[in-house]
């Protein structure tokens, strides 16, 4: 698993006017990894990407690429290429000319360029589109050309800034698989920026969850989903029940007006904590069967399951159930100790959870 | 069935509208355009293609072969090409500099550049005249410095100066607008793909600002080819432009037929210039005005 | 990415500004010159300004210009806005014909437009204030259409239809929904019409009646027989007024823009 570090961001800080966008950020990206920077808008993920690409220079800190300091290297001198959010194809050039742009600048031969264009168009499934103008392509096609234009230069790292943001759902899902395939075929590092948690979970090797200029958690998709390190990550990734609670003592926590057994230890006695429970981990039963009782106050059909609100002691629980319940039904809820995730409350202002805007 | 539905949807979408469906509201303007745009042009054609006795003739067009008219046309072409070139050379770098950082100050500088356009154009020419007259400011300064006086007024250079001064903002504005429309991401994309500043300028900014350049050229070329007042004031009566001879045909010789014939010739040049511009602007992405 | 302008760029902007403003500055300075000569500074005076307002010829030209410009801009705005609404409801072909016709006065040389109108007026009516007014409206309407039409095309039809759906009559919906949306276009069309009319010399020159002058044609006449320094005073006054108006407009539009950013 331990891959060689290709990019290191060391103590990167960046201010725009009076807002601190990045605060002493440290991040190491390994070779041949698919790393996703995930977070709400304004969390600093795009700024991080722009610093990697060389479009923005950090106020402090260093960018190390393959052992060399490239902090002040302009974008045209970096072995890094970018796929922009709005595709940014050159509108006055056709597909072929767009793809050839970088190759011509680096002085490649006509034959080489021709081969590369063919190869790249095949790779993105658009062979035969050489003479089209960007305005004659759909959004998805434009995006694929943008990717082709970047990869023909054989960059060590491909930066992608919410490249699928403008596409509709179906196309987005297809493109996700294409990107994974591309990454495997090309064997280069992908750094991907998105605010879409599903996208991040589907594609990434490593997810870097960011908020307000800080990295909240770095981990595999499974880690980030199953073991969020703090309430922000838990809240941002997936639907969750987030309660404020108190750790009574080891393996016992109180929240939502009741006491629950849990598996966590070493928080101390009577400590304020955040408690997270995934809606799919809650089991509904007849009243009295579970740990607490409640009444069903909302039912929404979601295709694969029902999203059900259960109100109990004035708290609303979100529960996924395969079975339809009628509004007003009395039910009980049960959670196994293993599925109760407990986290320390943020201690300083810095770690405070911002409301994600999605 | 679903096909039928789709077609229904489509025809519905064509019907969508955003204001009352009253084509007759354009009625007054249609009459206006017929009476005051089309009819006057018909008259120009009528007079231009007929003799004093009312019969059809091409003599009024052929009048362009007479030395006085031919020379005037030559002078006008020279002035308009020269003016257009001067304006373009000065305006392009300015528009580029101002569009490069689209701050409020850039927008404000543009307002200041357009501001003289709001001063009556004859007053602007008057100002230029004060500077370059034989007993004007420039010669006064030269005199104080003990240098030789310059004869500026009543020369072709004076007309160049006046027209370029007058039409300069018409060149800056469309180029600036076209450059501001270039998405900054596209410039970053070029850098990302290895282009340095010069390559980016040559391969991206110049071609993408071309529609603005074309608008600018048209907006300077057309008024300057038909100019007569500036030549009158700054060129004295030494240099006759095509506009001058047309004006004289109407106001001094009272020869509507020759005057109209020469006007038709002028229109031919304007049409040619616009066709050429459209050819250059092959994608049709450029707007003619602004 | 905010780049700082380099020294060369600043110098270039500076040079252009000097070229643009020195003539106007000279005009302004000389409006205070207590000498009729163009090359001798005879001391500071305000008497050209005082004389200006006593000069019947200038005052009457000013009045004519004001009357002409305001009425031409108003008529052109009304005519052009109605034309846009009508054109939007027309078939594609008719719309194309009308748009092409509309483009003619914009693209044609002013001298041809002026002469064509003069021929019409001399044949079918007399030259006077009304002929000037018609000519100015003809010149200005295309610019109103140019400004209003794009706004009308980009307005949200769903909102208009929503108003109808909620029981509004087409007229009511137009006044309360469409008009506010296209108003910026109408306003800029009006301003452009106003500016064009104010600045026009060529078309006025050919369509004015004897004895009537606008500021433009009066200056042209004066220039041939020698300029009265009162004109320097007038141009300086006009410049200052326009500068103030523009600064005010800039202020207002800056304030309007800001919340959207």
Same domain, A250 and A306: yes
Question: Is A355 inside any structural domain?
Answer: no
Contact across the interface for C138 and B23, Cβ inside 8 Å: no
CB B150 within 8 A of CB C54: no
Q: Edge-to-edge strands of the sheet including A19-30?
A: A19-30, A5-16, A60-65, A68-69
Nearest to B189 among A80, A88, A106 (CB): A88
Q: Of B125, B221, B230, B117, which Cα lies nearest the Cα of C195?
A: B117
User: Which CATH number fits the domain that encloses residue B221?
Assistant: 1.10.3720.10
- Contacts of C among chains (3+ CB pairs under 8 A): B
Chain C residue numbers with beta carbons less than 8 Å from the beta carbon of B126 are 27, 219, 223, 227, 231, 235
Portion of chain C with pLDDT greater than 70, in percent: 94
Provide the residue range defining the domain that includes A243. 239-336
Question: Is A347 inside any structural domain?
Answer: no
**pLDDT tens sequence across A288-318:** 888 999 999 999 988 888 999 999 988 999 9
Q: Is B158 helix (H, G, I), strand (E, B) or coil?
A: helix
Q: Among A190, A205, A226, identify where a domain stops.
A: A226
CA distance C5 to chain B (A): 8
CA distance C115 to chain B (A): 8
Same domain, A111 and A196: yes
Alpha helix segments (H runs only) across C109-229? 110-124, 129-154, 157-165, 170-173, 179-199, 202-207, 215-225
Beta-carbon contacts of residue A207 (< 8 Å; ≥ 6 apart):
A35, A36, A38, A200, A201, A217, A218, A219, A220, A221, A224
When comparing pLDDT for B33 and C199, which is higher? B33
Separation between Cα atoms, residue A254 and residue A272, nearest integer Å: 10
Average pLDDT, chain C: 85
Describe the crossing of helices B137-144 and B121-132 by its angle, rounded to 10 degrees. 20
Phi, psi of C206 (to 5 degrees): -85, -20
Surface-to-core class of residue B285, CB atoms within 10 Å of its CB (0-12 exposed, 13-18 middle, 19+ buried): middle
Average pLDDT, chain A: 87
Most confident of A136-140, B80-84, B99-103: B80-84
Separation between Cα atoms, residue C204 and residue C208, nearest integer Å: 6
Separation between Cα atoms, residue A50 and residue A34, nearest integer Å: 17
Residue B63: count of CB within 10 angstroms of its CB? 20
Between the alpha carbon of residue A122 and those of residues A115, A148, A170, A292, B80, the distances in Å are 11, 9, 21, 58, 52
**pLDDT tens sequence across C100-129:** 888 888 888 889 999 999 999 998 888 889
Q: Edge-to-edge strands of the sheet including A157-161?
A: A80-83, A157-161, A189-194, A34-38, A206-211, A214-219
For chain C, say whether B88 makes contact (Cβ under 8 Å): no
Same domain, A70 and A198: yes
Residue A284 has pLDDT above 50, yes or no: yes
What is the full DSSP assignment across B207-234?
HHHHHHHHHHHHHHHHHHHT--HHHHHH
For chain C, say whether B24 makes contact (Cβ under 8 Å): yes
Between the alpha carbon of residue A67 and those of residues B109, B116, B161, C257, the distances in Å are 46, 57, 60, 47
Residue C78 has pLDDT above 90, yes or no: yes
User: How high is the pLDDT of residue A112?
Assistant: 94
Nearest to C20 among B27, B39, B116 (CB): B116
For chain C, say whether B21 makes contact (Cβ under 8 Å): yes
- The number of folded domains in chain B is 1
Provide the residue range defining the domain that includes B109. 66-280
Same domain, A216 and A248: no
Chain C residue numbers with beta carbons less than 8 Å from the beta carbon of B223 are 109-110
Q: Of A329, A332, A307, which Cα lies nearest the Cα of A319?
A: A307
User: Which CATH number fits the domain that encloses residue A200?
Assistant: 3.40.50.300
- Across the range C210-238, mean pLDDT stands at 84
Interface test with A, best of B179, B193, B198, B205 (most A CBs within 10 A): B193
**pLDDT tens sequence across B162-171:** 999 989 988 9
Same domain, A168 and A35: yes
Same domain, A205 and A314: no
Distance of CA B144 to the CA centre of its chain: 39
Question: Is A353 inside any structural domain?
Answer: no
Question: Is A32 inside any structural domain?
Answer: yes
Residue B83: count of CB within 10 angstroms of its CB? 28
Q: Of B272, B289, B165, B275, which Cα lies nearest the Cα of B227?
A: B165
Phi, psi of A14 (to 5 degrees): -150, 130
SS (H, E, C) A106-159: CCCCHHHHHHHHHHHHHHCCCCCCCCCCHHHCCHHHHHHHHHHHHHCCCCCEEE
Separation between Cα atoms, residue B134 and residue C68, nearest integer Å: 36
What angle (nearest 5°) sits at the alpha carbon of residue B57, between those of residues B52 and B60?
75
User: How high is the pLDDT of residue A238?
Assistant: 79
Nearest to B207 among A80, A92, A101 (CB): A92
Same domain, A243 and A139: no
When comparing pLDDT for B94 and C181, which is higher? B94
Q: Of A296, A291, A341, which Cα lies nearest the Cα of A321?
A: A296
Separation between Cα atoms, residue A78 and residue C151, nearest integer Å: 44
Between the alpha carbon of residue B45 and those of residues A268, A284, B61, the distances in Å are 100, 90, 11
Q: Is A16 helix (H, G, I), strand (E, B) or coil?
A: strand
Residue B222: count of CB within 10 angstroms of its CB? 24
Res. B281 pLDDT band, cuts 50 70 90? low
- What part of A 95-114 touches B (C-beta under 8 Å)? 101-102, 105-106
Listed range (A45-54, B46-55, C39-48) with the worst mean pLDDT: C39-48
Sign, Cα dihedral of A87, A89, A95, A100? negative
Residue A49: count of CB within 10 angstroms of its CB? 21
Res. C257 pLDDT band, cuts 50 70 90? low
User: How high is the pLDDT of residue C114?
Assistant: 93
User: How high is the pLDDT of residue C256?
Assistant: 58
Chain C residue numbers with beta carbons less than 8 Å from the beta carbon of B93 are 12
Q: Is C247 helix (H, G, I), strand (E, B) or coil?
A: helix
Chain B residue numbers with beta carbons less than 8 Å from the beta carbon of C119 are 40, 43-44, 47, 256, 260
Contact across the interface for A82 and B192, Cβ inside 8 Å: yes
Res. C132 pLDDT band, cuts 50 70 90? very high
CA distance B231 to chain C (A): 12
Contact across the interface for C89 and B19, Cβ inside 8 Å: yes
Chain B residue numbers with beta carbons less than 8 Å from the beta carbon of C96 are none
Residue C221 has pLDDT above 80, yes or no: yes
Same domain, A74 and A182: yes
Residue C40 has pLDDT above 70, yes or no: yes
Res. C251 pLDDT band, cuts 50 70 90? confident
Phi, psi of A287 (to 5 degrees): -55, 140
Residue C154 has pLDDT above 80, yes or no: no
Contact across the interface for B185 and A105, Cβ inside 8 Å: no
Same domain, A177 and A270: no
CB A301 within 8 A of CB A285: no
User: How high is the pLDDT of residue C106?
Assistant: 85
Nearest to C115 among B16, B44, B289 (CB): B44
Question: Is B171 inside any structural domain?
Answer: yes
CB A143 within 8 A of CB A175: yes
User: How high is the pLDDT of residue C254?
Assistant: 65
Residue B4 has pLDDT above 60, yes or no: no
Res. B103 pLDDT band, cuts 50 70 90? low
- Across the range C204-212, mean pLDDT stands at 89
Same domain, A259 and A171: no
Which chain B residue has its CA at the smallest distance from A157's CA?
B192
Between the alpha carbon of residue C127 and those of residues B127, C132, C208, the distances in Å are 31, 8, 6
> Virtual CA dihedral for B229, B230, B232, B234, nearest 10 degrees?
160
Phi, psi of B210 (to 5 degrees): -55, -45
Q: Edge-to-edge strands of the sheet including A283-285?
A: A283-285, A330-334, A292-301, A306-312, A315-321
Residue B49 has pLDDT above 50, yes or no: yes
User: How high is the pLDDT of residue B23?
Assistant: 80
Residue B9 has pLDDT above 50, yes or no: no
CB A136 within 8 A of CB A163: no
- The number of folded domains in chain A is 2
> Quick one: residue B244, left, alpha or beta (phi over 0 = left, psi -120 to 50 = alpha)?
alpha
Contact across the interface for B101 and C157, Cβ inside 8 Å: no
- Contacts of A among chains (3+ CB pairs under 8 A): B
Question: Is B61 inside any structural domain?
Answer: no
Contact across the interface for C171 and B20, Cβ inside 8 Å: yes
Contact across the interface for A101 and B283, Cβ inside 8 Å: no
Res. C87 pLDDT band, cuts 50 70 90? confident
Domain with CATH 1.10.3720.10 in chain C: 56-227
> Virtual CA dihedral for C107, C108, C110, C114, nearest 10 degrees?
-130
User: Which CATH number fits the domain that encloses residue A246?
Assistant: 2.40.50.140
Same domain, A176 and A270: no
- What part of A 51-80 touches B (C-beta under 8 Å)? 53-55, 74-77, 80
> Is the domain C56-227 a CATH 1.10.1200.10 member?
no
Separation between Cα atoms, residue C221 and residue A43, nearest integer Å: 68
Q: Of A275, A272, A266, which Cα lies nearest the Cα of A247?
A: A272
DSSP 8-state class, residue A281: G
- Across the range C52-56, mean pLDDT stands at 88
User: How high is the pLDDT of residue B269?
Assistant: 86
**pLDDT tens sequence across B193-248:** 999 889 999 999 999 998 889 889 988 998 888 888 888 888 877 788 899 899 88
- Across the range A153-179, mean pLDDT stands at 85
Separation between Cα atoms, residue B262 and residue B278, nearest integer Å: 25
Question: Is A193 inside any structural domain?
Answer: yes
């Amino acid at each position: 698993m331990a891959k060689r570090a290709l990019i290191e961001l060391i103590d990167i800080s960046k201010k725009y006017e009076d807002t601190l966008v990045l605060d002493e950020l440290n991040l190491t990206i390994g070779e041949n990894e698919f790393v996703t920077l995930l977070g709400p808008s304004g969390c600093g993920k795009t700024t991080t990407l722009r610093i990697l690409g060389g479009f923005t220079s950090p106020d402090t800190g260093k960018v190390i690429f393959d052992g060399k300091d490239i902090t002040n290297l302009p974008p045209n001198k970096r072995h890094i290429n970018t796929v922009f959010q709005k595709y940014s194809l050159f509108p006055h050039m056709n597909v072929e000319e767009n793809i050839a742009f970088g190759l011509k600048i680096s002085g490649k031969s006509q034959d080489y360029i021709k081969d590369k264009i063919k190869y790249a168009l095949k790779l993105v499934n658009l062979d035969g589109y050489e003479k089209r103008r960007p305005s004659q392509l759909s959004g998805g096609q434009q995006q694929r050309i943008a990717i082709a234009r970047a990869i023909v230069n054989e960059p060590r790292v491909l930066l992608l800034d919410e490249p699928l943001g403008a596409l509709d759902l179906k196309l987005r899902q297809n493109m996700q698989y294409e990107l994974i395939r591309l990454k495997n075929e090309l064997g280069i590092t992908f750094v991907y920026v998105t605010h879409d948690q599903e996208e991040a979970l589907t594609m990434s090797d490593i997810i870097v969850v960011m908020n307000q200029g800080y990295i909240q958690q770095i981990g595999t998709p499974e880690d980030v989903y199953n073991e969020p390190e703090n309430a922000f990550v838990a809240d941002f990734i997936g639907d969750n029940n987030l309660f404020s609670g108190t750790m009574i003592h080891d393996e016992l926590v109180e929240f939502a007006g009741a006491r629950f057994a849990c598996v966590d230890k070493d928080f101390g006695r009577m400590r304020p904590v955040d408690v997270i429970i995934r809606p799919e981990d809650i089991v509904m039963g007849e009243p009295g069967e579970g740990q607490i009782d409640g009444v069903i106050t909302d039912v929404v059909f979601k295709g694969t399951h029902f999203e059900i609100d259960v109100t109990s002691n004035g708290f609303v629980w979100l529960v996924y159930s395969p079975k339809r319940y009628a509004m007003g039904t009395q039910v009980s809820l049960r959670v196994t100790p293993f599925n109760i995730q407990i986290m320390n409350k943020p201690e300083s202002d810095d770690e405070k959870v911002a409301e994600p805007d999605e | 069935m679903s096909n039928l539905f789709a077609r229904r949807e489509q025809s519905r979408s064509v019907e969508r509208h955003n204001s009352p469906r009253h084509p007759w509201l354009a009625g007054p303007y249609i009459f206006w355009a017929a009476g005051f745009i089309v009819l006057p042009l018909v008259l120009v054609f009528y007079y231009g293609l007929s003799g004093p006795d009312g019969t059809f003739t091409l003599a009024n067009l052929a009048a362009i072969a007479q030395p006085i008219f031919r020379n005037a046309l030559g002078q006008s072409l020279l002035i308009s090409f020269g003016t257009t070139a001067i304006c373009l050379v000065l305006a392009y770098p300015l528009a580029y500099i101002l569009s490069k950082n689209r701050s409020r100050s850039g927008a404000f500088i543009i307002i200041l550049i357009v501001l003289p356009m709001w001063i009556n154009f004859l007053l602007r020419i008057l100002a230029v005249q004060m500077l370059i007259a034989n007993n004007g400011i420039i010669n006064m300064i030269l005199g104080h410095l003990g240098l030789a006086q310059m004869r500026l007024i009543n020369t072709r250079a004076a007309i160049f100066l006046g027209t370029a001064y007058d039409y300069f903002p018409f060149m800056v504005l469309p180029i600036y607008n076209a450059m501001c429309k270039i998405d900054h991401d596209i410039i970053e994309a070029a850098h990302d793909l290895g282009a340095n500043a010069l390559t980016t300028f040559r391969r991206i900014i110049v071609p993408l600002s071309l529609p603005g350049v074309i608008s600018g050229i048209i907006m300077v070329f057309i008024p300057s080819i038909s100019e007569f007042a500036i030549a009158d004031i700054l060129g004295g009566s030494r240099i006759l432009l095509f506009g001058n001879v047309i004006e004289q045909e109407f106001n001094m010789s009272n020869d509507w037929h020759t005057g109209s014939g020469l006007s038709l010739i002028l229109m031919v040049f304007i049409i040619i210039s616009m066709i050429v511009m459209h050819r250059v602007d092959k994608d049709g992405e450029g707007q003619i005005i602004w | 990415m905010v780049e700082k302008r380099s020294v060369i760029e600043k110098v270039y902007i500076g040079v252009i500004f000097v070229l643009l403003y020195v003539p106007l500055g000279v005009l302004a300075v000389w409006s205070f010159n207590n000498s009729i000569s163009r090359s001798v500074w005879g001391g500071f005076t305000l008497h050209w300004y005082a004389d200006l307002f006593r000069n019947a010829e200038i005052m009457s030209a000013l009045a004519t210009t004001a009357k002409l410009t305001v009425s031409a801009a108003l008529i052109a705005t009304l005519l052009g806005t109605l034309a846009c609404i009508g054109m939007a409801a027309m078939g594609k072909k008719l719309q194309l014909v009308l748009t092409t016709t509309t483009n003619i006065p914009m693209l044609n040389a002013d001298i041809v437009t002026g002469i064509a109108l003069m021929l019409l007026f001399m044949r079918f009516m007399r030259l006077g204030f009304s002929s000037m007014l018609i000519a100015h409206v003809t010149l200005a309407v295309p610019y109103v259409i140019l400004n209003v039409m794009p706004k009308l095309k980009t307005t949200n039809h769903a909102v208009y239809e929503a108003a109808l759906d909620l029981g509004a009559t087409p007229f009511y919906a137009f006044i309360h929904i469409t008009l506010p949306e296209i108003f910026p276009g109408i306003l800029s069309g009006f301003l452009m019409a106003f500016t064009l009319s104010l600045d026009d010399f060529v078309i006025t020159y050919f369509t004015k009646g004897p004895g009537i002058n606008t500021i433009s044609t009066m200056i042209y006449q004066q220039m041939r027989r020698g300029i009265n320094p009162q004109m320097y005073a007038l141009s300086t006054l006009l410049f200052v007024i326009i500068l103030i108006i523009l600064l005010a407009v800039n202020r207002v539009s800056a304030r309007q823009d800001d919340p959207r950013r």
